[in-house]
Amino acid sequence: MSNPADDPAAVIAIRDLAFRWRRGTPIVLTIDHLEIARGERVFIEGPSGSGKTTLLSLLAGVVKAEQGSLSILGQPLERMGAVKRDHFRADHVGYVFQMFNLIPYLSLVENVTLPCRFSRLRRARVLERTGCSGRSARCLEEEALRLLDHLDMAEPARSKRPVTELSVGQQQRVAAARALMGSPEILIADEPTSALDSDRREAFIRLLFRECAETRMSLIFVSHDAALEPLFDRTVRLAEVNRALKPPGAVCDVFGWDRLQST
Ligand SMILES: Nc1ncnc2c1ncn2[C@@H]1O[C@H](COP(=O)(O)OP(=O)(O)OP(=O)(O)O)[C@@H](O)[C@H]1O
């Protein structure tokens, strides 16, 4: 892993951010200060409802903060409209969704090469990486198969298995290969290992780390699997960082159990 001090410019910088899902509903995420450096591998941890997925949606520009600032690669997302944020995400962010979001009518390889349809930048990076001078569709396919091969998925891809016939664990690996395609600067993964057995989980993490190290990609990884935490450079504990959460003990005791227990 690169030392963040090598590159002082943070890839992600959050200041005084507050977010609510809808007007009139409570603020669910308040973060005063958070920076993630280029090439850093960060494990995001927190109990259910602490705002992990909300934070990832903000980082991906799917939603926008109503207060404060969130800059990615020096670009403040709050100043961009929805369409610009979509283009920005396509160019710079790979996202492994909890529910995979594979497209059922595309082949396995087409699912993996999809980011290159939406982003010329990612397409150009694949062509540069492969040093390919032939037909670009062929080069994209080769890169997709390289990534799938590392995840033990090249055979289903070559035998043209429809994505709808893949197991949950296999779909998860296809989703990971798609997120890595074209080496985005930021890779966001929301519970990406939940459907994998322990051998596959290790192969999956090894691939993520290797790809991230090669291109100095920053990895933001949400998981409930505490065994994975020591592998990362740093942990962000949302229960500590998110000031919108009630402090422990502030749970509303409508039944008065606390009073009854202490009498
Ligand atoms: N689309 C949404 N619309 C309205 N409220 C939402 C939405 N998504 C999440 N929330 C609310 O935002 C808060 C944080 O939820 P979030 O899903 O970010 O937590 P989480 O830490 O990812 O939880 P889990 O570990 O269960 O996935 C919760 O109070 C949740 O009810």
Closest atom of ligand 1 to CA, residue 22:
4
On whether the CB atoms of residues 109 and 141 are closer than 8 A, the answer is yes
Round to whole Å and give the CA distance between 78 and 67: 9
Q: What is the pLDDT of residue 251?
A: 47
Round to whole Å and give the CA distance between 212 and 29: 28
- Choose which residue among 21, 23, 29 to substitute to test ligand 1 binding: the one with the highest number of ligand atoms within 8 A of its C-beta: 21
Domain ranges of the chain: 40-62+80-247
Residue ranges around ligand 1 (CB below 6 Å): 21, 28, 46, 48-54
Closest atom of ligand 1 to CA, residue 54:
18
First CA to last CA across the chain, in angstroms?
55
What residue's CA is closest to ligand 1, atom 18?
A: 51
User: What percentage of the chain has pLDDT greater than the value 70?
Assistant: 89
What residue's CA is closest to ligand 1, atom 7?
A: 21
> Does the pLDDT value for residue 262 go beyond 80?
no
On whether the CB atoms of residues 108 and 163 are closer than 8 A, the answer is yes
- Rounded to the nearest 10 degrees, how much is the dihedral formed by the CA atoms of 68, 234, 251, 190? 80
- Across-strand partners of 113? none
Distance 55 CA to ligand 1 centre (A): 9
> Between 76 and 5, where is the model more confident?
76
- Token couple for 95: 């996202």
Q: What is the pLDDT of residue 158?
A: 85
- Token couple for 96: 């492994």
pLDDT, tens digit (0-9, with 9 covering 90-100), for 106-158? 999 999 999 999 999 999 999 988 887 666 888 999 999 999 998 888 888 88
> Between 9 and 50, where is the model more confident?
50
Closest atom of ligand 1 to CA, residue 51:
18
- Across-strand partners of 76? 71
Q: Does ipTM top 0.95?
A: yes
The answer, as to whether pTM is greater than 0.90, is no
pLDDT, tens digit (0-9, with 9 covering 90-100), for 13-66? 999 999 999 999 999 999 999 999 999 999 999 999 999 999 999 999 999 998
The radius of gyration computed from the CA coordinates of the chain, to the nearest angstrom, equals: 20
E strands, the chain, are 10-19, 29-37, 41-45, 67-72, 75-76, 93-96, 186-190, 218-222, 234-237
Three-state DSSP at 111 gives: helix
What residue's CA is closest to ligand 1, atom 28?
A: 49
Superfamily designation of domain 40-62+80-247: P-loop containing nucleotide triphosphate hydrolases (3.40.50.300)
